[in-house]
A = this chain, B = another copy of it.
Amino acid sequence: MSSIQLGVLLFPGFELLDVCGPLEVFGYAEGLSSTLVAAERGPVASTQGPALLADCALAAAPPFDWLMVPGGLGARAAVDDAALLAWLTERAAACDRVLSVCTGSALLARAGCLDGRRATTNKRSFGWATAQGPAVDWVAHARWVVDGPFFTSSGVSAGIDMALAVVADVRGEAAAAAIAERIEYEWHRDPTWDPFAALHGLVDRGDG
């Protein structure tokens, strides 16, 4: 079984569950190791207050197989951080899988990674997030969207379903189901399950 090195981007004001939901899942995936990366090594405060410890600085990050980008209120400032965007552009191109949760896809969009790709994002912030990537084929109604190496998910808790889908993709459906059972989580296996899009009046072209 291949080992997988996952890099997780942190920035001030990241959304706590965007990061910790998927990392709970990946923590039980065989052969997968996570490294938290931020502008500087050390504590990074979330939107909700609690701080996670970044293992290394962007400039010192080792090569990764997978990359994960969270959203959160801090994404509003991060989309204007040229150094961060340049890092994302370079690293995303070198990864087998590039994952985003919530408005993390707005960061990937601003870094040019999603041009011409199908992707989704947070439904409450759909207008702002999609404006960050006019050349992206944004999907309003989706729990998560897969296009090539990109797994982009909807708001916050959607990251847990996306993470289980990625585990199913590389380690098999049974392995993902065992993790969901272990964390007593009712996994939404259908990427088109999305009761939240309609709450914000969002429909896709062709949805009616």
| Chain A residues within CB distance 8 Å of chain B | 15-17, 19-21, 23-24, 26-28, 33-34, 36, 43, 46-53, 122-124, 154-158, 160, 181-186, 188, 195-196, 199
Contacts and interface: CB of A to CB of B under 8 A. Distances in A.
Interface of A is mostly: mixed
B24 A36 contact: no
Contacts of A156: 24, 182-185
15 contacts: A16-B20, A24-B156, A27-B47, A28-B48, A33-B49, A50-B52, A50-B53, A52-B52, A52-B53, A154-B184, A156-B182, A157-B183, A157-B184, A157-B185, A158-B184
A21 B20 CA distance: 8
Nearest to A197: B184
A50 B36 contact: yes
A52 B49 contact: no
A147 to B, nearest CB: 20
Name, among A53, A123, A158, the residue most crowded by chain B CB atoms within 10 Å (CB to CB).
A53
A20 B157 contact: no
B23 A27 contact: no
Nearest to A193: B186
A155 B180 CA distance: 11
Contact of A23 (B26, B43, B50): B50
A44 B115 CA distance: 39
Nearest to A122: B184
Contacts of A46: 27
